[in-house]
Amino acid sequence: MDGRGRILKLILTPGHAGDAPVGEKLLEGLCANHVLADAAYDSDAIRLRVKRMWAQACIKPKANRKARKRCIKERYRHRNIIERFFGALNRFRRVATRYEKKSINFAGFLWLASLLTKPF
């Protein structure tokens, strides 16, 4: 997602899957100055990927991380754009309930809902 709340990339995963394994795939091919993420994406592999992009990582450290990395609070506050976007997506009944059995159909509705959602 860019700084204005527009979705850039979408990868569907099973509901029980964690966020970190697809975090690196989400960063592939993107160009950014800063990468904001919550603690679910706090892994050395993702931080290394962000460093290779010549970007600055602002990822909230996990509670069990031994070497705690600092995150600039002023920049991390902009993560609320992401949270508001997901809240706006849930206003679409078809997305919030997921009536589609096939993931390609559900992804199509996610893209449509994201286009109809006003950028923040």
Domain ranges of the chain: 15-71, 73-120
Return d(Cα 75, Cα 45) in angstroms, integer: 21
Q: According to the model, what pLDDT value does residue 92 have? A: 92
16 HSE (CA, 13 A, CB side): 0
| Contact between residue 14 and residue 37 where contact means Cβ atoms under 8 Å apart | no
Q: According to the model, what pLDDT value does residue 120 have? A: 62
pTM of the complete model beyond 0.85: no
pLDDT means over runs of 10, the chain (120 residues): 82 83 89 88 90 90 80 79 87 89 92 84
